Amino acid sequence: MMTKDELLGPLARQRSDRVVVTTMGIVRPWGRVSDSPFDFASADSAMGHAADFALGVALAQPQRQVICLNGDGSMLMTLGTLVTIVASRATNLVLFVVENGTYEVTGNQEVPGAGRTDFVAMAKAAGFARAERFADAAAFEAALPTLLSAEGPVFVSVLVAPGHEGPLGRGPEQSEPYLKLSLAESVRALRRALTSR
Protein backbone atom coordinates (compact mmCIF):
# COMPACT_ATOMS: atom_id res chain seq x y z
CA MET A 1 0.00 0.00 0.00
CA MET A 2 1.33 3.42 -0.99
CA THR A 3 0.56 6.94 0.14
CA LYS A 4 -0.78 9.54 -2.24
CA ASP A 5 2.47 11.46 -1.88
CA GLU A 6 4.41 8.39 -3.00
CA LEU A 7 2.27 8.30 -6.13
CA LEU A 8 2.06 12.00 -6.89
CA GLY A 9 5.59 13.13 -6.02
CA PRO A 10 7.37 11.06 -8.68
CA LEU A 11 4.60 11.77 -11.17
CA ALA A 12 4.88 15.54 -10.64
CA ARG A 13 8.64 15.34 -11.15
CA GLN A 14 8.38 13.31 -14.36
CA ARG A 15 5.18 14.56 -16.03
CA SER A 16 6.95 17.28 -18.11
CA ASP A 17 4.38 18.97 -20.40
CA ARG A 18 1.92 16.08 -20.32
CA VAL A 19 -1.74 16.87 -19.65
CA VAL A 20 -2.84 15.61 -16.23
CA VAL A 21 -6.57 15.14 -15.54
CA THR A 22 -7.48 14.51 -11.91
CA THR A 23 -10.70 13.75 -10.10
CA MET A 24 -12.18 13.24 -6.63
CA GLY A 25 -9.71 12.46 -3.81
CA ILE A 26 -6.65 13.15 -5.97
CA VAL A 27 -7.68 16.67 -7.07
CA ARG A 28 -6.39 18.60 -4.05
CA PRO A 29 -3.27 16.50 -3.41
CA TRP A 30 -2.23 16.97 -7.06
CA GLY A 31 -2.94 20.70 -6.82
CA ARG A 32 -0.55 20.88 -3.87
CA VAL A 33 2.36 19.45 -5.87
CA SER A 34 1.65 20.85 -9.36
CA ASP A 35 0.73 24.18 -10.94
CA SER A 36 0.78 23.67 -14.68
CA PRO A 37 -1.39 25.05 -17.49
CA PHE A 38 -1.76 21.42 -18.55
CA ASP A 39 -3.45 20.37 -15.31
CA PHE A 40 -7.21 19.91 -15.32
CA ALA A 41 -9.43 18.99 -12.38
CA SER A 42 -12.58 17.08 -13.19
CA ALA A 43 -14.21 18.73 -10.19
CA ASP A 44 -17.66 20.32 -10.01
CA SER A 45 -18.33 18.16 -13.06
CA ALA A 46 -19.84 14.67 -13.41
CA MET A 47 -18.50 11.76 -11.37
CA GLY A 48 -17.20 8.92 -13.48
CA HIS A 49 -16.34 11.06 -16.48
CA ALA A 50 -12.67 11.96 -15.96
CA ALA A 51 -11.28 9.07 -18.01
CA ASP A 52 -13.52 9.69 -21.00
CA PHE A 53 -12.81 13.45 -20.84
CA ALA A 54 -9.09 12.63 -20.83
CA LEU A 55 -9.61 10.33 -23.81
CA GLY A 56 -11.16 13.23 -25.73
CA VAL A 57 -8.15 15.43 -24.98
CA ALA A 58 -5.81 12.62 -26.04
CA LEU A 59 -7.62 12.15 -29.36
CA ALA A 60 -7.53 15.88 -30.08
CA GLN A 61 -3.84 16.13 -29.14
CA PRO A 62 -2.26 12.95 -30.50
CA GLN A 63 1.24 14.42 -30.27
CA ARG A 64 0.95 15.03 -26.53
CA GLN A 65 0.60 12.42 -23.80
CA VAL A 66 -2.40 12.63 -21.47
CA ILE A 67 -2.41 11.19 -17.95
CA CYS A 68 -5.67 10.58 -16.11
CA LEU A 69 -5.65 10.04 -12.35
CA ASN A 70 -8.99 8.34 -11.90
CA GLY A 71 -10.48 6.87 -8.73
CA ASP A 72 -11.70 3.32 -8.29
CA GLY A 73 -15.25 4.46 -7.51
CA SER A 74 -15.18 6.71 -10.57
CA MET A 75 -13.79 3.94 -12.79
CA LEU A 76 -16.56 1.58 -11.68
CA MET A 77 -19.15 4.09 -12.90
CA THR A 78 -17.91 3.92 -16.49
CA LEU A 79 -16.15 0.60 -17.00
CA GLY A 80 -17.19 0.69 -20.64
CA THR A 81 -14.69 3.51 -21.10
CA LEU A 82 -11.90 0.92 -20.84
CA VAL A 83 -13.25 -0.60 -24.05
CA THR A 84 -13.83 2.78 -25.69
CA ILE A 85 -10.24 3.83 -24.97
CA VAL A 86 -8.80 0.73 -26.62
CA ALA A 87 -11.20 0.90 -29.56
CA SER A 88 -10.23 4.54 -30.13
CA ARG A 89 -6.60 3.49 -30.69
CA ALA A 90 -5.39 6.35 -28.50
CA THR A 91 -1.72 5.52 -27.98
CA ASN A 92 -1.00 8.65 -25.91
CA LEU A 93 -3.20 7.98 -22.88
CA VAL A 94 -2.01 6.68 -19.51
CA LEU A 95 -4.96 5.83 -17.27
CA PHE A 96 -4.24 5.50 -13.56
CA VAL A 97 -6.82 4.04 -11.21
CA VAL A 98 -6.00 5.12 -7.69
CA GLU A 99 -7.41 2.27 -5.65
CA ASN A 100 -8.18 3.30 -2.12
CA GLY A 101 -11.29 1.14 -1.92
CA THR A 102 -13.52 4.00 -0.82
CA TYR A 103 -15.56 6.99 -1.91
CA GLU A 104 -13.13 9.26 -0.09
CA VAL A 105 -14.67 12.70 -0.59
CA THR A 106 -18.05 11.58 0.73
CA GLY A 107 -16.62 10.01 3.88
CA ASN A 108 -14.69 6.91 2.83
CA GLN A 109 -17.67 4.63 2.28
CA GLU A 110 -16.46 1.35 0.76
CA VAL A 111 -16.83 1.03 -3.03
CA PRO A 112 -18.49 -2.14 -4.37
CA GLY A 113 -15.98 -4.94 -4.71
CA ALA A 114 -13.26 -3.14 -2.76
CA GLY A 115 -10.21 -5.37 -2.46
CA ARG A 116 -11.70 -8.02 -4.74
CA THR A 117 -12.10 -6.23 -8.08
CA ASP A 118 -9.17 -6.81 -10.43
CA PHE A 119 -8.94 -3.62 -12.49
CA VAL A 120 -5.71 -4.73 -14.16
CA ALA A 121 -7.38 -7.91 -15.41
CA MET A 122 -10.29 -5.86 -16.73
CA ALA A 123 -7.94 -3.46 -18.51
CA LYS A 124 -6.04 -6.37 -20.05
CA ALA A 125 -9.29 -8.00 -21.14
CA ALA A 126 -10.37 -4.73 -22.73
CA GLY A 127 -7.14 -4.80 -24.73
CA PHE A 128 -4.87 -2.25 -23.07
CA ALA A 129 -1.36 -2.48 -24.49
CA ARG A 130 0.07 -2.49 -20.99
CA ALA A 131 -1.62 -2.88 -17.59
CA GLU A 132 0.23 -3.03 -14.28
CA ARG A 133 -0.46 -2.82 -10.56
CA PHE A 134 1.73 -1.20 -7.92
CA ALA A 135 1.56 -1.32 -4.15
CA ASP A 136 5.19 -0.43 -3.42
CA ALA A 137 6.54 3.10 -3.76
CA ALA A 138 10.05 2.16 -4.83
CA ALA A 139 8.81 -0.24 -7.50
CA PHE A 140 6.39 2.38 -8.79
CA GLU A 141 8.99 5.13 -9.02
CA ALA A 142 11.41 2.79 -10.78
CA ALA A 143 8.78 1.76 -13.34
CA LEU A 144 7.33 5.23 -13.96
CA PRO A 145 9.70 6.33 -16.76
CA THR A 146 8.88 3.16 -18.69
CA LEU A 147 5.15 3.58 -18.10
CA LEU A 148 5.27 7.16 -19.37
CA SER A 149 7.32 6.34 -22.44
CA ALA A 150 5.48 3.18 -23.49
CA GLU A 151 3.12 3.18 -26.43
CA GLY A 152 -0.39 3.20 -24.98
CA PRO A 153 -2.98 3.04 -23.98
CA VAL A 154 -1.36 2.21 -20.66
CA PHE A 155 -3.32 1.24 -17.55
CA VAL A 156 -1.81 1.60 -14.09
CA SER A 157 -3.49 0.53 -10.88
CA VAL A 158 -1.98 1.95 -7.71
CA LEU A 159 -3.03 0.70 -4.28
CA VAL A 160 -3.18 3.77 -2.07
CA ALA A 161 -4.24 4.24 1.53
CA PRO A 162 -7.52 6.16 1.92
CA GLY A 163 -7.06 9.80 2.87
CA HIS A 164 -9.38 12.41 4.30
CA GLU A 165 -10.10 14.74 1.41
CA GLY A 166 -13.50 16.39 1.71
CA PRO A 167 -15.99 17.46 -0.96
CA LEU A 168 -14.52 19.50 -3.78
CA GLY A 169 -15.29 23.11 -4.61
CA ARG A 170 -14.14 25.75 -7.06
CA GLY A 171 -13.53 29.46 -6.63
CA PRO A 172 -10.93 32.08 -5.77
CA GLU A 173 -10.91 30.98 -2.13
CA GLN A 174 -9.50 27.56 -3.06
CA SER A 175 -5.81 27.11 -2.30
CA GLU A 176 -5.07 24.81 -5.25
CA PRO A 177 -4.40 26.97 -8.35
CA TYR A 178 -6.45 24.87 -10.75
CA LEU A 179 -9.51 25.07 -8.50
CA LYS A 180 -9.61 28.85 -8.49
CA LEU A 181 -11.35 28.98 -11.87
CA SER A 182 -14.88 27.81 -12.64
CA LEU A 183 -15.17 24.58 -14.60
CA ALA A 184 -16.05 26.53 -17.77
CA GLU A 185 -13.07 28.88 -17.29
CA SER A 186 -10.80 25.97 -16.52
CA VAL A 187 -11.65 24.05 -19.68
CA ARG A 188 -11.05 27.20 -21.73
CA ALA A 189 -7.69 27.73 -20.03
CA LEU A 190 -6.70 24.18 -20.95
CA ARG A 191 -7.86 24.70 -24.55
CA ARG A 192 -5.79 27.89 -24.79
CA ALA A 193 -2.74 26.15 -23.37
CA LEU A 194 -3.11 23.25 -25.79
CA THR A 195 -3.81 25.29 -28.92
CA SER A 196 -1.49 28.28 -28.49
CA ARG A 197 1.62 28.18 -30.67
Partner 1 sequence: MKRQRVTHVVGVPDNTSKALFEALHEEPTLRVLSVTREGEAFAIAAGLWAGGASPLVLIQNTGLLESGDAIRGTAMRMRIPLVCLVTYRGYAGLSKAGNLGAIDGPLLGRNELDSTAVLTEPTLTAWGLPFSFVHGDADLSRFTQAFGAARAQEQPVAVLLTRPTT
Which residues, numbered 59-118, are part of the site for partner 1 (CB under 8 A)?
59-61, 78, 80-81, 83-84, 87-88
Identify which range of 10-18, 58-66, 100-108, 171-179 contacts partner 1 by CB under 8 A.
58-66
Q: Decide if 85 contacts 153 (C-beta within 8 A).
A: yes
Alpha-carbon distance of 149 to 57, in angstroms, equals 18
* Residue 181 DSSP SS3: coil
Cβ distance to partner 1 smaller for residue 49 or 133: 49
129 lies in the binding site for partner 1 (CB under 8 A):
no
Cβ distance to partner 1 smaller for residue 30 or 40: 40
133 lies in the binding site for partner 1 (CB under 8 A):
no
**Site for partner 1 (CB under 8 A): how many residues?**
30
125 lies in the binding site for partner 1 (CB under 8 A):
no
Cβ distance to partner 1 smaller for residue 86 or 144: 86
Instruction: Kindly state the smallest distance separating residue 10's Cβ from partner 1, in Å.
Output: 25
Alpha-carbon distance of 161 to 100, in angstroms, equals 5
Other C-beta atoms closer than 10 Å to the C-beta of 74 total 26
Instruction: Enumerate the H helices of the chain as residue ranges.
Output: 4-14, 27-33, 50-60, 72-77, 80-88, 119-126, 137-149, 183-195
143 lies in the binding site for partner 1 (CB under 8 A):
no
Please classify residue 193 by burial: count the beta carbons closer than 10 Å to its beta carbon, then call 0-12 exposed, 13-18 middle and 19+ buried.
Answer: middle
Which residues form the interface with partner 1 (CB under 8 A)? 40, 44-47, 49, 52-61, 78, 80-81, 83-84, 87-88, 183-184, 187, 190-191, 194-195
